[in-house]
Amino acid sequence: MEMNPFHQLPASLLQEIITSLTCTYFGEKPIKTPVAVLEHLITPQLASSRFAPIFSETYLSFFAKFGNLLKLNFKFSNVGDDSLQIVGNCCKNLRILNLDTCRNVTDSGIQWLCFASQGIQTNNSELCKTLVQLLIYQTGVTKKGAQMAMKYLTALTDFEHDTFFEILVELGEVEQHDNLSKVKILPFTTLLIANISPSLSGRFGQALSLCPFISMVSIVATKGLRDVDLLSLTALKKLNRLHIYMHPKAEEVEITFVGGVVPLLQTIGSSLELLDLTYFDTIDFWTVIKFCPNLISLSVNDHCERFSALHKNEIPRCRKDQERFTLKRLKELDCAYSIPPDILHFLFSFPLLEQISITQGSTLTDAVLIDAVKSHRFQNLKKILLRRCNLVTKKGINAFMTKHSALEYISLHFCKKVSLNDIVDWQLLARHNNWKLNLDFKNSDLSLMRYYTS
């Protein structure tokens, strides 16, 4: 039997090849790779596979080889319930399954994951003992289906569904009503709070008491959420990652930075390693930096000292003694809009920064970038992502094009003063100098274009 040369490659490299083939677009149209091509690449040694956002039911023909698969990602794809029957039967060691925004997945699909047949409470599937992460946010799965997953997939520690928090609130209140001497403890380490109705506001306490191991909370802000609900998160003693996002259709959301976030950060800020406050259009950097000195990742929008919780005499001291307020562990920075240049200079000085992402940076100029590079900043910077930063030109990016730069990836989307010719020039320069530099470019005239020099 002729040996397949692809199977001699490391499994991690094979997975990268498969991923690139299942994430390919022609313009805005996804391209489905023929199953005959993928069959040559699939090997039982694969531990991870991704069919997101492009999936075809014809791919199911090689799922029998996925007996050792640990991680499977279908996010944004058209995968459906029948496919999950195959997953349940073939991927018996699966630990992570991402079905976020797979609209065709319903309660029937969850039933196939839980049981070897459609008979309820008979022949529990192997996944009941192995699956630790199941993401089914914004799918066709109802509250009943989510409850089924929580009941039968007993190894779950990371679970996402639109009604997950509502289910926890109800469970907590049942425990309280029954006046049990020993409160039931659930093993979940992550918590998604979404679609909070006004009736759920103020009822967080009992739900959180069931989940003492929660280390990450993701909040999709909606109208029912109030500042008092944010403050209830202080009960989570292991919390070190906090996201607060904007719901795309949210109206009249009541939570505030000063009344909700600031008191929360005063209590738990020193424990946080990741903080995402992109729900808020404007926050005060100095407040965040003072109360969250151990951040590794920070995502915020604009800065305004009007929202500061610090005493009016304290901000001048922050500006003067910036060394004391430097986030010495920060590696990822994501910000937007019209942040004052002096604040940008300060943020860029954080010594361990590896990734910077700026959106609609109306104050980010060539001069700011050039000065930062000359000041020996960005020594550890590997990725820079700029979106709609219309004052940045080739001159500003050129500041990074030195042999001493650690930069590996540049993404420039809709930056009006950067052209395709600039990208080609940088690609040629990187190849000439044998630099490991990948370029990602998009403007109003082009679909996404990627250039690989390594």
Query: Model confidence over 142-197: pLDDT tens digits?
Result: 999 999 999 999 999 999 999 999 999 999 888 666 665 566 799 999 999 988 88
pLDDT digits (tens, 9 = 90+) for 276-316: 999 999 999 889 999 999 999 999 998 887 767 776 666 66
Q: Cα(304)–Cα(320) distance, rounded to whole angstroms?
A: 18
pLDDT digits (tens, 9 = 90+) for 345-401: 999 989 999 999 999 999 999 999 999 998 877 889 999 999 999 999 999 999 999
Q: What is the pLDDT of residue 19?
A: 79
How large is the greatest C-alpha to C-alpha distance in the chain, in angstroms? 79
Q: Say if CB 362 and CB 387 are below 8 A apart.
A: no
Q: Which amino acid is at 58?
A: T
Q: Which of 415, 407, 416, 417 is nearest to 454 (CA)?
A: 407
The angle at the Cα of 351, spanning 368 to 363, to the nearest 5 degrees, equals 20
Q: What is the pLDDT of residue 33?
A: 80
Dihedral angle sign, alpha carbons of residues 48, 53, 54, 55: positive
Q: How far is CA 192 from CA 52, 155, 164, 244, 303, in A?
A: 22, 18, 7, 10, 27
For residue 437, how far is the Cα from the chain centroid?
23
0.85 exceeded by pTM: yes
Q: What is the pLDDT of residue 449?
A: 67
The mean pLDDT value for 81-96 works out to: 95
Burial label for 35, CB within 10 Å (0-12, 13-18, 19+), is: middle
Whether the predicted pLDDT of 27 surpasses 60 = no
Q: Cα(273)–Cα(269) distance, rounded to whole angstroms?
A: 9
Q: Which of 263, 193, 287, 271 is nearest to 236 (CA)?
A: 271
Instruction: Report the phi/psi class of residue 126: left, alpha or beta, with left for phi > 0 and alpha for psi in -120 to 50.
Output: alpha
Choose the weakest-confidence range: 174-178, 232-236, 434-438: 174-178
Whether the predicted pLDDT of 34 surpasses 90 = no
Q: How far is CA 282 from CA 96, 219, 288, in A?
A: 36, 17, 12
The mean pLDDT value for 314-342 works out to: 83
- The answer, yes or no, to whether the previous bond of 34 is cis (omega within 30 of 0) is no
Q: Cα(311)–Cα(266) distance, rounded to whole angstroms?
A: 14
Query: How is the beta sheet containing 449-452 ordered, strand by strand?
Result: 190-193, 216-221, 241-246, 274-276, 297-299, 332-336, 355-359, 383-387, 409-413, 438-442, 449-452
Domain range summary for the chain, segments of one domain joined by +:
1-130
Q: How confident is the model at residue 405 (pLDDT cuts 50, 70, 90)?
A: confident
Q: Say if CB 106 and CB 149 are below 8 A apart.
A: no
